[in-house]
Structure formats: structure tokens, C-alpha cells
Amino acid sequence: MVDAPNGLSDHFGLEQEDNHDGTMYDDADLVIDEFESSDENDEFIKSLTKQNLLPTGCCYDDRMKLHANADFGPSPHHPEDPRRIEEIMKIFKKAGLVYTGPDTELSEILKDTPTKYMWRIPARDATRAEICTCHTARHFDWVRGLSNMSTQDLRQLSHSLDQGRASLYVGAMSFEAALLAAGGAIETCKNVVAGRIRNGFAIIRPPGHHAEYDCSMGFCLFNNVPIAATICQREYPEKCRKILILDWDVHHGNGIQNLFYTDPNVLYISLHVYQNGQFYPGKPENPRIPDGGIDQVGEDAGRGKNVNIGWADQGMGDGEYLAAFQKIVMPISQEFNPDLVIISSGFDAAQGDELGGCFVTPSCYAHMTHMLMSLAGGKVAVCLEGGYNLKAISQSALAVARTLMGEPPPQMEQLPRIEKEAAKVLAKVQATHAPYWECMRPGIIDIPESDAGANRLHDVVRGYQRQNLAERFSMVPLFIQREALFKSFENQVLVSAGIQEKKKVLFIIHDPPELVAMPDVIDNTVEPHNAFILDGVASYVEWAYNNGFGVIDANVPHYVTRPEDVDPYIPGANERTLSVQIKELVNYIWDNYLQLYEAEDIFLLGVGNAYLGVKLLLTERHCKDRVTGVVNFVTGNLRPVKSAVDEDLSTWYKKNSLVYVANDHACWSDPDLAKKVGKKRFGGVKRSNQVGLNRMMQEHAGEVHEWITGRLPDSGNTTEDEKMT
């Protein structure tokens, strides 16, 4: 006989009975039957409901620990450790969330403080029919067949399955534990929907969200949450039509996504690490099966009901997750207006979990839970998925449980700025789902393919710059005799007239001007008088022109417009693409123009990400003897200049450069990094007191002009040391 779980559901004092069909029920199961059949208990529940005193439920059963790895190889321990659920239950009891005292006091507790403790929900075996609402009968039979295999066969099977995308282990009791996990999820969700508890937490394993309809994978045998959701929809069609499944496990829940991909009544939102499809579970072998990419939005009637917030890399923390909730999760969920919220609650994004590699704190989990409790009249069911650091999973689960029980989330310290790539991910999710959700449309524009009058603003801006520089300084486009480069940099490289005869040349490699605008808050339109172009480079071109310099102005666009492009939001070029384009450009300009000019003094000016071109020119061409000085303005990556064939290059760069680095740059936040950037390969680094390229260029213009002038021969400085002074 299995010991009855401790808890408030024991208060009826009913002993275990045999159900006469081979299934063992404990007293907690009989309490649920009692609730459903007893008029007295119906009145008790109604009374608690009227007083807003419904408790939080908790589902747990030690028997789920019997699922263990049969492969006792050199490394018998597995991340999906049976102790995961035990540690959560221990911390619940230690924190006083689950009652552990004598039964004699239960009546008074129920009468005086019915919400003081979590009410225990029994975990029972899910039936074949229930599991086959989401899985094939063949798959059910495969899992059931594990119970009849020999230990040797189970070990061999575990060893073979624990490879690649399958990533699974099995044991002699895996089937029995999987039935309890699915049954526990069903009972927790049903009790929430039926109104017998306010909300609930199912401490279950094995997890489920990777299991496909026809196979197990990713530590998962049966997909617990979809089974529970489907049963609730079928048994409570009036109360539970629309369900939100929020999956914050660090891995994408491919199984849940694919089971509901065409279902308009289930909104699936997943926050996970994607890494361009490289992070587990990765891309399916069948390319027609969707993965965890942002562009996978559902099909047919389910379009828009599948929301993937796939982080570009690990390392996400509280700031990124709360931003995702505020910008994407909650607006869409509120517009969807679910009848039930199920949290597919993996805690492997928690700080301390080595598999996840993220930094979400228990406080953040509490705040996310609190936000979700504002939906569906507070009907929230939490079902455990992954999470493999025992301390992190138990503390995170405790924070969620306290919040479910009505405790306010703890005040959080000031959050760090959201990681830039994460902000881009959220912007892309918003743009992707703008066609399906009204709340995603502010900030999103629709450019129809037939609108021949639509031009990308960066092309318009460069056209204005070309005209302005031509009128003021007689600058003209530089012809680039390379087919690929010409298409990319048509009108992007301008030169002043007669540059080949100038003794002084300033070669500027810069990002496009910064655009700032205040859109109308109602219709998202931007009036021209509310938009501005911030072009810090123009004043440097003017100074150089007035001081007798020849000027080459190379504008490096973040994206090259193509006629077939109609997407209103396109991310900028990645580092690799940018590097290839800039490298070919600067080398071409040096080989075919600068190197052939009669200039005695050539200065390089790098601005923004485009200053990568300065590094590439210095490392790709032996040109330092012709370059008199280098000035860079840096807000992004700080790039080292070193060469395997020219050992003196870094030393030369240190002596002959000014590198202004933004005041908020990450290198200043760590003393070790700040010390590192002082090394010669990073150049003459100076910390600017300004933030942003235009402010930096304006602030240091006088210093730069004086520094350049001081390095010219006619300045009176004749030696290298005097030049540096």
C-alpha cells in the first residue's frame, strides 16, 4: 500500500480502499469523489467561493520518483533526476505551504483559515483514452511496453535513446510514473476549472512538453499539459473553451506547439533559447514540421495562436523576461482572453541551471506568475516541466507557489538594461504577429507590395546627403568597378573635387545618420516636422573642406535595399555580412584611389559599427606608413588592431590613434575589462563623457580638430614624440 499524502485533503479521515479493478486509490482521491457527490461539501466549496477563500491546490505523489534511468553506465546520474519533485515538495513543507501537523487540528484550520495551506490534489493514473486524445494508440502501447522489458533491454534502449534529438531515458517504472504525471496534470487543471480550488501547482515528472503525438523525446514520455487542456475543454465546454498555455521552460515545447498548431482555441506562447535553431530541441529532420523560430505562427485557423519568443542566445535574465511579458505575453494574452491559464513551468532558465545558462531569479518567476493571475479570473494551473539544478528549481517553484497563494511578489532591485539582441527579438515578434493581434500593431507599418511610391528612408536620406555635399563641397559619387560592391554602395561613397591633387586627405567610414521621430500615438504616422536626422559627420566634412583636405565619405548602410523587399521591418546586416562588404570596399578604395594619390597625410575617421573598416584596412593592407593618424568613435564592439605579419602594427596604432568610447560602454562596467582596453592593440582609448555617436562627435570635435592639425608637418611638430605631445 502507498502511504497517503499529507495535507488538507486528509481531513475527512477516509482510509485507503481497493477500487475493485486493480487500481489503488488513497484517501485524497476519495476526497475528490466526496466533493463531487456530497451536498455538504458542495455547500462548503460554495461558501469559500463567496468569501473569496478558495485555496491553492498542490498535486504530488512520491511514486513519480520511480521513473529512473535504467542505463547504469559510467555516468549514472542524469539531469532529469527523480529528486527534482522531492526537493520542491520538501521546500514547500519547510516554508509552511503544506500542512504537516496532526489531523485533529484540520477542522479548525479549515474553518478559520482555509487558505493558510495548499490543499492536496491526488495524482491518479491517466487512462488510455485520456492519453490518446493527444497521442496515438501505438505510442501509448510503446510506453506501456517498457514495463515488460528486461533490465538489460531497458539499459540498452536508454543508451541508444540518450543520443541526438531523442535525448531520453527509460526504466522499468517509467510507464507508471508517466501515467501519474499525466493524471496529476489532468486533476490539477480540472479542479481549477471546476472552481474547487483557486489555482494549483502540479509537481509532476516525467515532464511532457517535448513529447510529440507519436513519439517520446527530450526527457518526456507523454505530453501532460496538452492532455490536461484537451480533457478540460471536453468535460467543461461552457467553462473552458479558450486556453492559454504559457511555456517558460528554456527549451522550446515543440510537442505542445505541434499538437495545437491549427487550433484557434489554444494560444501557445513559448519563451525559449533558440540560437538560430541550434539549441535543443533544434530543427526537426522533416523540414515541413515547424521549429521554435519566431516566424512559426500557426496554420489555418490557428494562425497567430502560436507565439515563439526565441532568444538569440543564452544569458537572458530578469530584464529580458519581464520585457517579454510586458511587450508581448500580456498584451496578446489579454486580447485572447482565456478561460484557463496553464503554465508549462520548466525552471531551467533559472539562475544556477547549467543546462539553461540563463539568469532568471525566483523574484522574476513570482512577478510573471502574478501577471498571469490577472487572466481567466485567476484560474491558473502550474505544471512542472524541466529544471535541473535542485536548489534553483525548488527556490523558483517556492516563489511561484507563494504568489499563487496570494503573497505579493517581492520588490525587485533595479533591473539591468535589456540586452540589445533581445530587444531586437521582441521587435521582430511584434512585427511578426501584428497581422493577427491588434495590440501588436502600434509601431508596425504595412507597406503593400503594390505601393510603388514607398521608398526606404535610408535611401532618401543618402540622396539628401549626396545633394547637400555636392552643393556645399562639390562632392561626387565615387565609381566602384565591382558589380556586387557597386550595387551595395551606389551613391554611398562620395569624394571631393580634385582630391587626387590634395596633400591632405580625410577618409571617413561611418554609419548612416541617426533617425529620431515621435509617431502619432493613435495611428502611428510620423509627421515630417516631428522627425529629425542627426548627422554628426557633416560638421567634420565641413571642417576638413575648409582646412584644405580632400574628403572621401563612405556611408555604410545597415541594410542594402533590394527592389523585391516589401517587409517593413528588416534587421540590420549581421557582423559577418558587414565585415565582408566593408573589407572589400575599403581595400578597393585603397588599392584604386588612396594609394595612388599624391597625399602626404592621410587620416582615417571611423564612426559607429562602420569603424570596423578602419581595422580591416590597417590589417589587410600595409598602409600605416601612409596614414598620419586615426580617430574612432565607438559605441559597439571595441575592435583590436593586430597583425600576424606586422608585429609593430599594434604599437603604431596605440601611438597614432584617438579612440573615443561611449560612457555607457560595457567595457567600463568591469575593472578587468577597463584595464584590458588600455592595451596597445585597442589604440589610444579615451572614455567619453557622452553617450551616443552624435553627442560624442559634437563633444570632442575641438579635440579631434586640434589633434589632427597638430600631426601635420606645417604645425611645427617634427618628431614622433612631439606629435604625440
Q: Which residues participate in catalysis according to the annotation?
A: 210
Unique residue bearing C-alpha cell 455538504: 40
CA distance 629 to 657: 6
Element (H, E) at 476: strand 476-477
Element (H, E) at 507: strand 504-510
Task: Yes or no: say if 703 and 677 are a contact pair by the CB < 8 Å rule.
Answer: no
C-alpha cell at position 161: 535513446
For 133-223, where are the alpha helices, taking DSSP H only? 137-145, 151-161, 174-194
How would you classify the pairing of strands 493-495 and 476-477? antiparallel
Cα(491)–Cα(496) distance, integer angstroms: 13
Give percent helix, percent strand, percent coil of the chain, each to the nearest 5: 45, 15, 45
* Cβ atoms of residues 255 and 280 within 8 Å: no
Q: How many CA atoms lie within 13 A of 508 on its CB side?
A: 27
The set of cell numbers assigned to 109 is: 484550520
Containing 346, the helix (H) or strand (E) segment is none
Half-sphere exposure of 388 (CA within 13 A, CB side): 17
Terminal-residue alpha carbon distance, the chain: 88
Spatial contact of 218 and 167, defined as CB atoms under 8 Å apart: yes
Count Cα neighbours of 159 within 13 Å in the Cβ-side half-sphere.
12
Q: What is the dihedral of CA 105, 108, 110, 111, to 10 degrees?
A: 180
**Rounded CA gap, 386 and 353, in Å?**
10
* Residues constituting the chain: 725
Alpha-carbon span 658 to 536, nearest angstrom = 17
> Cα(247)–Cα(228) distance, rounded to whole angstroms?
15
- What is the DSSP annotation of 270-329? EEEE-GGGTSTT---SSTTS--S-TT----GGGTTSEEEEEESSS--BHHHHHHHIIIII
| CA dihedral sign of residues 239, 240, 244, 246 | positive
CA distance 420 to 561: 23
What residues pair up with 258 in beta bridges, in sequence order? none
Q: How far apart are CA 247 and CA 245, in angstroms?
A: 6
Whether 680 and 653 have beta carbons less than 8 Å apart is answered as yes
Residues 6+ apart with CB under 8 A from 679: none
Q: Which residues contact 182 (CB under 8 A, 6 or more apart)?
A: 126, 130, 131, 208, 222, 224, 227, 228
CA–CA separation, 283 vs 276, rounded Å? 9
- How far is 724 from 585, CA to CA, in rounded Å? 30
Reference 533, options 450, 462, 586, 444; nearest CA is 462
Coil, helix or strand at residue 404 = helix
CA pseudo-torsion sign 432, 437, 443, 448: positive
Rounded CA separation 190/184 (Å) = 10
Residue indicated by cell numbers 562632392: 475
